[in-house]
Amino acid sequence: MKTCFRSWLLWITILSLNGKSVLAQVIDVKEADLNLTRLSASLETLSQQVSPAVVQVFSSGLAPVIEGESAGTGVLARQHSIGSGMIVDSEGYIITNAHVVEGAQRVQVLLPTSSESKSPNRSLLKAKGKMLEGQLLGLDRESDLALVKVDRKGLPFVELGDSDGLRQGQVVLAFGAPLGLANSVTMGVVSGVARQLKPEDPMVYIQTDTPINPGSSGGPLVDGNGRVIGINTFILSQSGGSEGIGFAIPSNIVRNVYRQLKQSGKVRRGVIGVYAQTITPLLASCLGLPQDWGVIISDVPPGGPAHRAGIKEGDLVLTLDRKVMENARQFNVNLYRHSVGDNVVVEVLRDNLRLRLDVRVIERADDPDRFAELADPRENLVSKLGILGVAIDPKISQMLLPLRKLNGVVVAAKLMGASSGGAELQTGDVIYSVNRTPVKDVADLNDALKKVDLGDSVLLQIERHGQVMYQAFELE
């Protein structure tokens, strides 16, 4: 493969040398060959540097059956998942994707085979690495990251780089175990540096054309200097395999999540208590603003940290932590990476005065993962809706806005890969009734849904963000 690539590159080089003397052409061809040799050697060195810290992660647990004759009957079966991970600390801390280990009752980690060998003629076929039991310290569904610990010290590890310095077109390498092929590496470029796949979602991704396939999830995306600038997490594909559209979680988001999972086993996300909007030319004209781009603060709820720091409605945000803010999306994304308790410096323009204000980051009230840890798939499964539900009790009530009714079932989590049955539920929704039959717990909800067959109409009464509403659909 390397020989073919070299021949192709040399041929292209020769074709581009029209008009030069034969001697000059020979010198340029030799120079191209030398550069290619140097590039190949650099990639080989980089691979040898990173590979010892890349592991395979195996998990098993109980999950609802979503295909076959038993689908939708509440039957749980043992499910297995295989992914990749990377060692980020010599004490055995490993980062992987949450979807690789979510719901796992057992996690195992396969360490790579040591590259050291006492034999003068090392074999290309290496023995299988060491399998260790892993402990799941915590996971964060919103970023799709998890932290696993193995009882082993002195392990090789990689360091997280600065994903903010990433540029479109940079060469990157993806490490992992695609389709179970351990210790694989692929090469590509950065296709995009800040892909936002859902409107108003502060979570952004690195897009790359580096081949990523099932089993690569959780492996590192590395730049040419050997720095981890992302965690491979998913692909967009019509065939199910790599089609050159892969996505990685930026390392600066990974760093924040890793630090919190290591410290407390969960992630708390912060806000400063403002609503920011992107300035458009029309908005600037209507408000008489001095610029037709950037960010304007349209709401500052009283009593919040931004209000206490002196931020006011109508302030133009110039910078956040010294970074120029071009739009509200950028403002929200940069806030998203901060931990609760951090301080951020917001520079605003007000009446032609530039003010620098120090604002404290507080915990976000509507964390969608706040109920998930209270649910057990064996007890809280509602298979026809593809959710885990928990009954309202005093503890749950304290986690919600004041409710309109006393009894109901809270949507604690939506099951990845499971059918929603046609319902459009969100985490935190409270289900009060099914076809006008009140439900007070998961057993009531499942009993009411047993009376509904595929294709039948279903009417749910739910409460969402303080609003009671109906949701009608045909069961799929």
DSSP conformation class of 44: H
User: How high is the pLDDT of residue 2?
Assistant: 44
The pLDDT confidence band at residue 28, using thresholds 50, 70 and 90, is low
User: How high is the pLDDT of residue 36?
Assistant: 81
Three-class DSSP category at 304: coil
DSSP conformation class of 372: G
Reported pTM: 0.71
Reported as half-sphere exposure (CB side, CA atoms, 13 A), residue 246 has a value of 33
Task: Show me where the domains of the chain are located.
Answer: 2-50, 54-112+129-267, 270-363, 372-474
Whether residue 351 is predicted with pLDDT greater than 70 in this model: the reply is yes
Can you list the positions of beta strands (E) in 159-272? Answer: 171-176, 184-195, 205-208, 220-223, 228-235, 246-250, 270-271
Mean pLDDT of the region 444-470: 91
Q: Which residue has the tokens 């935190």?
A: 428
User: How high is the pLDDT of residue 117?
Assistant: 47
Q: Which H or E run includes 394?
A: helix 394-398
Length of the chain counted residue by residue: 476
DSSP conformation class of 26: H
Neighbour-count burial of 21, counting CB atoms closer than 10 A to its CB (0-12 exposed, 13-18 middle, 19+ buried): exposed
Q: Which residues have C-beta within 8 Å of that of residue 326, sequence separation ≥ 6?
A: 293, 294, 295
Reported as half-sphere exposure (CB side, CA atoms, 13 A), residue 141 has a value of 15
Phi and psi torsions of 254, nearest 5°: -60, -45
Whether residue 395 is predicted with pLDDT greater than 90 in this model: the reply is no
d(CA 228, CA 198): 25
* Largest pairwise CA distance in the chain: 89
Domain 372-474 has CATH 3.30.930.10: no
User: How high is the pLDDT of residue 76?
Assistant: 57
DSSP letters, 132-168, are EEEEEEEEETTTTEEEEEES--S-----B--GGG--T
The proportion of the chain whose per-residue pLDDT surpasses 90, expressed as a percent, equals: 49
The pLDDT confidence band at residue 274, using thresholds 50, 70 and 90, is very high
Helices and strands (H and E) in the chain: how many: 10, 27
The proportion of the chain whose per-residue pLDDT surpasses 70, expressed as a percent, equals: 84
241 or 324, higher pLDDT: 324
Three-class DSSP category at 324: strand
Whether residue 451 is predicted with pLDDT greater than 70 in this model: the reply is yes
Looking at this protein, which amino acid is placed at residue 92? G
The pLDDT confidence band at residue 93, using thresholds 50, 70 and 90, is very high
User: How high is the pLDDT of residue 333?
Assistant: 84
Q: Which fold has domain 54-112+129-267?
A: Thrombin, subunit H (2.40.10)
Q: Which fold has domain 270-363?
A: Pdz3 Domain (2.30.42)
Three-class DSSP category at 351: coil
Answer whether 270-363 and 372-474 agree in fold: yes
Q: Which H or E run includes 100?
A: helix 98-101
The pLDDT confidence band at residue 458, using thresholds 50, 70 and 90, is very high
Active site residues: 99, 144, 217
Q: Which residues have C-beta within 8 Å of that of residue 235, sequence separation ≥ 6?
A: 212, 213, 242, 243, 245, 246, 247
Q: Which residue has the tokens 């030398």?
A: 34
The pLDDT confidence band at residue 82, using thresholds 50, 70 and 90, is very high
- Of the candidates 376, 372, 294, 282, the residue with the CA atom closest to the CA atom of residue 331: 294
Query: Of the ranges 13-17, 50-54, 127-131, 314-318, which one carries the lowest mean pLDDT score?
Result: 13-17
Q: Mean pLDDT in the chain? A: 85
- Of the candidates 104, 68, 140, 66, the residue with the CA atom closest to the CA atom of residue 382: 66
Mean pLDDT of the region 155-163: 94
Q: Are 279 and 292 in contact (CB under 8 A)?
A: yes
Mean pLDDT of the region 237-242: 75
DSSP conformation class of 315: P
Q: Which residues have C-beta within 8 Å of that of residue 104, sequence separation ≥ 6?
A: 59, 60, 61, 81, 136
Q: Are 375 and 413 in contact (CB under 8 A)?
A: yes
Q: What does the pLDDT look like over 227-236, one tens digit per residue?
A: 999 999 998 8
DSSP conformation class of 269: B
Q: Which residue has the tokens 């690789």?
A: 100
Mean pLDDT of the region 295-320: 94
